[in-house]
Amino acid sequence: MASGIFALLDDIAALMDDVAMMSKIATKKTAGILGDDLAVNAEKASGFVSSREIPVLWAITKGSLLNKLIIVPLALLLSYFIPWLITVVLIFGAFYLAYEGAEKIYEYVIPHQRTVDRVENTMLSDEDIVTLEKGKIKAAIITDFILSIEIVIIALGSVIGKPILTQIIVVSFIAIIATVGVYGIVTLIVRMDDLGMLLTANKSKTSKFIGKQLIRLLPLVIKSLAFIGTIALILVAGGIFVHKIDQLHYFLQDLPSLVREFSAGLMGGIIALLVVKGFKFIWGKLKQSIKKKDSTTNG
């Protein structure tokens, strides 16, 4: 009986050693995408009224956790039963990310009427504010879903061939880190100004100086993250294109990998943007023609 317990404990210890080692490897492999995830989500989570930042971030965090609860079991099942489908999902997700990045560049470069993202207009009603918040939360959760797929797939790829229990524990661990770690840092970033206000109220000159710098730096950090987030979307998409599409393996191979991936991501984003714009244009024309026919018939 005693020997059986010791054997069980020995098996558990061996499993935990294996999990710890594979988790370390998976964390290293996903470090880059986690950094991109942080930049993208910090930009997505900014622009709310100060009093609404924490509730909104909590809503996005819950959505992110739900994403992981959906993605992790599906990824494990697909990798076992239909492994080729994972690549297809990744490529479609990459086109979405590339589209988002290209659209941001288009909106910045091409002069047009811009909508104000920041939800702090005192003229807005409570219903309008809630509607705007829901829209931004939904957009953030959708982007998180795509990035989460990439994170989970990379983590899963690092434990392929290991026992299923090891795969489940390692991938689940990375998924939790990707949510708690990323959104924990995002929360700290968007609350920089509040920390600054607290420090400026302190009698210490050092505290006041640090507080003022934090308040001054926050807009710069948010703008920087918006830029980094856009580049990150294109780089993540380009990385998927280059590594998952055979025809692009040798695309601009003499250039550094960063340039290759950005170029591939930008090209994919431009293609996706043209397709979406073209579809919207055609759909708009069809709606206009239908309205004209209806008015003619009714007349």
Structure confidence at residue 111 as a pLDDT band (50, 70, 90)? low
Structure confidence at residue 32 as a pLDDT band (50, 70, 90)? low
Residue 52: pLDDT above 80?
no
Q: Tell me the per-residue pLDDT of 34-46, one tens digit each, with 9 for 90 and over.
A: 655 666 666 666 6
Predicted pLDDT at 272: 93
Measured between its terminal Cα atoms, the distance across the chain in Å is: 92
**Can you tell me the distance from the alpha carbon of 56 to that of 263, in angstroms, rounded to the nearest whole number?**
34
The number of helices, as runs of H, and strands, as runs of E, in the chain is: 8, 0
Predicted pLDDT at 112: 57
Both tokens of 156, joined, read 């899963």
Structure confidence at residue 115 as a pLDDT band (50, 70, 90)? very low
Name the strand (E) or helix (H) holding 230. helix 205-244
Predicted pLDDT at 126: 65
Q: Tell me the per-residue pLDDT of 255-280, one tens digit each, with 9 for 90 and over.
A: 888 889 899 999 999 999 999 999 98
Structure confidence at residue 254 as a pLDDT band (50, 70, 90)? confident
**Can you tell me the distance from the alpha carbon of 106 to that of 96, in angstroms, rounded to the nearest whole number?**
15
Question: Once rounded to an integer, what is the mean pLDDT over residues 101-111?
Answer: 83
Range from 14-28, 37-51, 105-119, 235-249 carrying the lowest mean pLDDT: 14-28
Both tokens of 133, joined, read 């918040």
Predicted pLDDT at 6: 44
Distances (CA, A) of 264 to 166, 169, 257: 34, 34, 10
Q: What is the DSSP string of 33-65?
A: HHHHHHHHHHHHT-SB-GGGHHHHHHHHHHHHH
Question: Once rounded to an integer, what is the mean pLDDT over residues 244-265?
Answer: 83
Higher pLDDT, 60 or 225: 60
Distances (CA, A) of 154 to 29, 125, 238, 283, 299: 7, 44, 15, 38, 61
Q: Tell me the per-residue pLDDT of 123-138, one tens digit each, with 9 for 90 and over.
A: 556 676 677 778 888 8
Phi, psi (deg, nearest 5) at residue 48 = -110, 160
- The share of the chain scoring above pLDDT 70, in percent, equals 74
173, 159 contact by CB (below 8 A): no
Structure confidence at residue 297 as a pLDDT band (50, 70, 90)? low
- The share of the chain scoring above pLDDT 90, in percent, equals 8
Distances (CA, A) of 72 to 23, 95, 153, 235: 15, 21, 9, 23
In the chain, the amino acid numbered 247 is Q
Q: Tell me the per-residue pLDDT of 164-198, one tens digit each, with 9 for 90 and over.
A: 787 888 888 888 887 887 788 777 777 777 778 88
Predicted pLDDT at 116: 44
- Across the chain, what does the average pLDDT equal? 76
Instruction: Identify the DSSP state of 119.
Output: B
Residue 121: pLDDT above 50?
no
183, 191 contact by CB (below 8 A): no
Q: Tell me the per-residue pLDDT of 137-155, one tens digit each, with 9 for 90 and over.
A: 888 888 888 778 878 887 7
Question: Once rounded to an integer, what is the mean pLDDT over residues 236-262?
Answer: 83
Question: Once rounded to an integer, what is the mean pLDDT over residues 211-228?
Answer: 79
Residue 9: pLDDT above 50?
no
Q: Considering Cα of 203, then 204, then 209, then 214, what sign does the dihedral take?
A: negative
